[in-house]
Structures are given as C-alpha cells and as structure tokens.
Amino acid sequence: MKDTLIPVPTIETERLLLRMPELNDSKSYQKNFADYEVIRYLSHLVPWPYPENGVYEFLKNVILPPQGRERWTWAIFEKDHPDEVIGVVDLWKNGCPEHRGFWLAKKHWGKGFMTEAVEPVSQFAFETLNFEKLVFANAVGNLRSRRIKEKTGARLIGVEPAQFVDPQFTEHEIWELSRETWNQLSTNKDRG
C-alpha cells in the first residue's frame, strides 16, 4: 500500500473546480496566499513576510513530490475563473495531528466556498483512501475555520498548545470526523 499511487482527482462542485496544483499556478497562488490575514492563522513554520518565490519553491519541493502517496492537494478555482488559484485544500495520510488543512483568499471569505470544497475532499478520504477518521485543527480564535468544521459534521475533541504565524494565537482546537458520522451525514443529504 505504501507505494500505491492514488492520483489527485479533479473535482467539480456547483461553483468550483478543484485540481492538483501545477508549477504554473504559482503566480496566482502567491498573489492570493501572501496576505497576512490569510497566513496569520497558519503554523508558525510558514514564513512571514512570505518570500517572493515562496509558493513556487513550496509547490516544487513540498507539495508536488508526495502527491498521490502521502499527500493529496487541490488548488481551488472558481469555474468562471479557472486560471486563478483562490485557495487550497490539503489532505495528509499521516496526521500531525491534523489530516486536512486549507486556506482561502480573503476576498472569497463568507461565500461558502471552503465548505463546498472540503466536502468532496472528505468524501475522497473516506471512500477512496479508506480513512476511518479525519482529524482537523484550527487556531483558537479562527472562527471561520471552526464554523466549517461544525458545518461538515466534525466534533471538537480538545484544545492543545500550538504556535502560529500570528503570535497572539497560542492554542489550537482539535476536531474529529469519523467515517460513521460522515456516512450518516451523506445519507441524510441524499434523502434531503
């Protein structure tokens, strides 16, 4: 199983296109990512100020090499603008503690895009990759991220110390979504 390649599928939702990022996406990715309001909630390992070629190097050296084996990463595009990366959803085989992370350009906050993006990623994790559970984390105080977890059926299981780009955040919430809960939610959606 370790060497089995499970490619990152292209996913279409009502308003979005999710596909594996490519090096030529780095310019629009960088434009929308290198914003303190986006980065401040991320791990302290993300550099700030963000380097000018940071996304290109991150894609080339960190994101792309393990794709389909230990990591599945989707760049998010609006269907009407398929050339501009507006966010990313990351899925990791080995949680640290989380299995999924994401970011979305500030100009798109509050539109429901991230909830729309993470639902098919969770489906892929449970149905294709056979995860029994997914663990998520967010900075205590990142209410938008918290709300996405609540809306998609995750339950809060704890709070632990953590470091973020913004030093005012010193703890993260740990969330869990089980396959059983996911299946129940999916069944209820299908009936609705």
pLDDT reported for residue 3: 65
Q: The pTM is what?
A: 0.95
Q: Which of the residues in the chain have pLDDT under 50?
A: 1
CA 136 to chain CA centroid, Å, is 9
pLDDT reported for residue 122: 97
pLDDT reported for residue 4: 86
Residues 144, 100, 28, 5, Cα dihedral to 10°: -160
CB distance 140 to 173 below 8 Å: yes
Distances (CA, A) of 6 to 69, 90, 147: 6, 15, 30
Q: Where are the beta strands (DSSP E) in 24-168?
A: 71-78, 87-92, 100-104, 133-139, 155-161
* Cα 192 to Cα 81: distance, rounded to the nearest angstrom: 30
Domains of the chain: 11-191 (3.40.630.30)
pLDDT reported for residue 1: 43
* Cα 92 to Cα 135: distance, rounded to the nearest angstrom: 10
pLDDT reported for residue 121: 98
pLDDT reported for residue 186: 84
Residues 170, 85, 154, 156, Cα dihedral to 10°: 0
